C-alpha cells in the first residue's frame, strides 16, 4: 500500500507531474482548503433544496401527492449513479476538467428546473442535478491528494465541514428564499452561484492528472473487485450507511413531528433545522483527532451520540418547551455523530493510496447514500403507521446495530 505519494499543492495551475507526486513536505495552502470546503457545500446543497419545497413544487408542476416523492428520489438516484459511474473517472481523467464539466451539467439542469413548464422536465432536471453534483465527491479526494499524510485528516475534516454545512443549511435556506420569492428563486440563485464557482475553480485550482492504469470499462469492472478486496472500505461504508440512515430518518420525519406536536410554522421548522448546523463542528475536530490515531474510539463515540439522540427523542415527547429543547440537543448530537464518523471513514479509505482513491470514494459514498435512502423510506412508513415513537425506536436501533458490528472490529483495523 502506497500511502506516501502526494503533490506539491503550492504549484499554481500547472499540471501535476506524475513523476513528482512524492511528497516534498509541503503544506496545502489554507485558501485552497477554504475554497474546496465552500465549493463542496455550495454544490451538495443542490441535493437538498427540494426537501422542504416538495408541496409547492408538486402543486406547480401538477404532480400527484403520491408521485411528489420523486422530486427528491430522482435527485438522489442521479447522485448515486454519478458516484458509481462519474466519480471513478477521477482516477483516469484530469480532476479539474472533470469537475468543471460536472458543474456545467449542474448549471444547465438548475436553469431547466427553474424554467420547467411541467413535471417531466422538472424531474429530468432533478436527475441531472444529482448526477452533476457528484463534483463535490471529486473535490473531496482531490483535497486529500493535495494534503500531506500528517495533515490529511485535518484537511479532509475541514473540507467535509463545508460539505456538511451545505447539507444542513440547504433546507432552511430553501424555505426562507421560497417564502420571499417563490420556489423557483432558490434554483435560479443556485444556477448563478454554481456558474460563478465553475469559472473560479477552472481558473485557480491546480491540475491533477492521474496516471491511468486501465480504461473506463476496466475501471467500472474493478469496483466489485475493490469492494470485495478492501475490508476497510466495506466496514466504514456499513458504519456510515447505518448512521446516515438514522440521520435521513430523523430529518425526513422531524418536520412532521414539529408541526404535529409543537405546531411550528414552516419558518419555525427552518429555524429548528438551523440548530443542526452546530453538529458540523465535529468534522474538523474528528479529522484532527484521527491524525493523532483516535479513529477507533471516536467511531464508537459516534454511535453512542446517535443512540443517545434517539433515546432522548423517544423518552421525551410531550409538547413542552423543555422537550423541544431536548429535541434540538438530540438533533445536534445526531449531526455530530454522523459528520464526525464521515470524516473518520473518508480518512481511513483515502489512506489506502492515490491510485484508486476516486473509485474508493465513489463506492463509499454510494453505499452510505443507499443507507440514507432506506432510512428516509423507513422514516416515512414508521411515522405514518406508528408516529414519533416507532420512528425514534427504529432510529435508535440503527446506531445500536452498527455499534454491535463495530465491536467485532480488530484494533489494528
The mean pLDDT of the chain is: 84
pLDDT band at 330, cuts 50/70/90? very high
CA distance 155 to 32: 10
Show the 3-state SS of the chain.
CCCCECCCCCCCCCCCCHHHCECCCCCCCHHHHHHHHHHHHHHHHHHCHHHHCHHHHHHHHCCCCCCCCHHHHHHHHHHHHHHHHCHHHHHCCCHHHHHHHHHHHHHHHHHHHHHCCCHHHHHHHHHHHHHHCCHHHHHHHHHHHHCCHHHHHHHHHHHHHHHHHHHHHHHHHHHHHHHHHCCHHHHHHHHHHHHHHHHHHHHHCCCCCCCCCCCHHHHHHHHHHHHHHCHHHHHHHHHHHHHHHHHHHHHHHHHHHHHHHCCCCHHHHHHHHHHHHHHHHHHHHHHHHHHCCCHHHHHHHHHHHHHHHHHHHHHCCCCCHHHHHHHHHHHHHHHHHHHHHHHHHHHHHHCCCCCCHHHHHHHHHHHHHHHHHHHHHHHHHHHHHHHHHHHHHHHHHHHHHHHHHHCCCCCCC
pLDDT band at 68, cuts 50/70/90? low
Tell which residue, 243, 328, 313, 317, has the closest CA to residue 277. 328
Average pLDDT over residues 139-167: 80
Q: Are the beta carbons of 82 and 134 closer than 8 angstroms?
A: yes
Residues 6 or more apart in contact with residue 118 via CB below 8 angstroms: 61, 62
pLDDT at 329 over 80: yes
CA distance 295 to 267: 38
Average pLDDT over residues 368-386: 81
pLDDT given for residue 278 in this prediction:
80
CA distance 340 to 343: 5
Q: Are the beta carbons of 28 and 151 closer than 8 angstroms?
A: yes
DSSP code of residue 47:
G
CA distance 154 to 283: 9
pLDDT band at 135, cuts 50/70/90? very high
Average pLDDT over residues 34-45: 94
Rounded to an integer, what is the distance from CA 397 to the centroid of its chain? 22
Weakest-pLDDT range from 244-258, 280-294, 346-360: 346-360
pLDDT given for residue 70 in this prediction:
74
The pTM of this model reads: 0.75
pLDDT at 150 over 60: yes
Q: What residue has cell string 454544490?
A: 43
pLDDT given for residue 303 in this prediction:
96
pLDDT at 354 over 70: no
pLDDT band at 13, cuts 50/70/90? very low
pLDDT digits (tens, 9 = 90+) for 46-59: 998 987 777 678 78
pLDDT band at 355, cuts 50/70/90? low
CA distance 205 to 189: 24
Helix (H) or strand (E) holding 173: helix 152-181
pLDDT given for residue 26 in this prediction:
57
CA distance 50 to 202: 28
Grid coordinates given for 210: 492521474
pLDDT band at 180, cuts 50/70/90? confident
Q: Are the beta carbons of 14 and 207 closer than 8 angstroms?
A: yes
Its CATH class, for the domain covering 18-406, is mainly alpha
Average pLDDT over residues 370-399: 87
pLDDT band at 121, cuts 50/70/90? very high
pLDDT given for residue 65 in this prediction:
56
Average pLDDT over residues 10-38: 58
pLDDT at 287 over 60: yes
pLDDT digits (tens, 9 = 90+) for 104-118: 999 999 999 999 989
Residue-wise burial string across 124-155, b where 16 or more C-beta atoms lie within 10 A, e elsewhere: bbbbbbbbbbbbbbbbbbbbbbbbbeebbbbb
Amino acid at each position: 500500500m502506497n500511502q506516501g505519494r502526494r503533490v506539491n499543492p503550492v504549484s499554481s495551475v500547472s499540471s501535476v507531474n506524475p513523476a513528482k507526486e512524492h511528497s516534498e513536505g509541503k503544506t496545502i495552502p489554507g485558501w485552497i482548503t477554504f475554497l474546496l470546503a465552500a465549493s463542496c457545500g455550495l454544490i451538495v446543497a443542490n441535493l437538498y433544496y427540494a426537501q422542504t419545497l416538495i408541496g409547492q413544487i408538486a402543486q406547480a408542476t401538477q404532480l400527484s401527492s403520491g408521485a411528489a416523492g420523486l422530486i427528491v428520489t430522482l435527485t438522489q438516484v442521479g447522485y448515486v449513479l454519478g458516484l458509481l459511474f462519474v466519480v471513478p473517472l477521477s482516477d483516469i481523467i484530469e480532476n479539474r476538467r472533470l469537475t468543471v464539466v460536472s458543474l456545467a451539467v449542474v448549471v444547465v439542469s438548475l436553469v431547466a428546473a427553474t424554467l420547467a413548464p411541467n413535471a417531466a422536465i422538472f424531474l429530468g432536471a432533478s436527475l441531472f442535478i444529482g448526477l452533476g453534483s457528484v463534483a463535490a465527491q471529486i473535490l473531496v479526494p482531490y483535497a486529500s491528494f493535495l494534503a500531506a499524510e500528517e495533515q490529511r485528516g485535518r484537511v479532509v475534516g475541514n473540507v467535509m465541514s463545508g460539505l456538511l454545512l451545505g447539507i444542513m443549511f440547504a433546507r432552511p435556506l430553501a424555505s426562507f428564499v421560497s417564502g420571499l420569492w417563490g420556489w423557483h428563486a432558490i434554483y435560479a440563485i443556485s444556477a448563478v452561484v454554481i456558474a460563478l464557482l465553475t469559472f473560479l475553480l477552472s481558473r485557480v485550482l491546480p491540475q491533477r492528472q492521474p496516471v491511468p492504469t486501465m480504461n473506463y470499462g476496466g475501471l467500472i469492472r474493478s469496483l466489485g473487485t475493490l469492494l470485495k478486496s478492501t475490508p476497510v472500505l466495506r466496514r466504514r461504508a456499513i458504519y456510515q450507511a447505518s448512521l446516515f440512515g438514522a440521520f435521513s430518518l430523523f430529518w425526513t420525519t422531524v418536520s412532521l413531528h414539529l408541526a404535529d406536536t409543537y405546531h411550528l410554522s414552516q419558518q419555525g421548522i427552518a429555524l429548528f433545522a438551523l440548530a443542526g448546523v452546530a453538529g458540523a463542528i465535529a468534522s474538523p475536530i474528528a479529522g484532527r483527532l484521527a491524525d493523532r490515531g483516535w479513529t477507533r474510539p471516536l467511531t464508537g463515540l459516534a454511535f453512542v451520540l446517535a443512540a443517545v439522540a434517539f433515546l432522548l427523542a423517544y423518552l421525551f415527547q410531550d409538547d413542552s418547551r423543555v422537550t423541544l429543547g431536548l429535541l434540538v440537543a438530540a438533533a445536534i448530537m445526531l449531526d455530530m455523530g454522523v459528520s464526525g464518523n464521515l470524516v473518520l471513514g473518508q480518512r481511513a479509505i483515502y489512506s489506502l493510496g492515490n491510485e484508486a482513491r476516486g473509485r474508493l470514494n465513489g463506492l463509499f459514498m454510494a453505499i452510505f447514500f443507499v443507507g440514507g435512502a432506506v432510512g428516509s423510506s423507513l422514516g416515512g412508513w414508521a411515522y405514518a403507521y406508528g408516529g414519533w415513537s416507532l420512528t425514534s425506536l427504529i432510529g435508535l436501533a440503527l446506531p445500536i446495530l452498527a455499534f454491535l458490528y463495530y465491536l467485532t472490529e480488530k484494533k489494528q483495523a
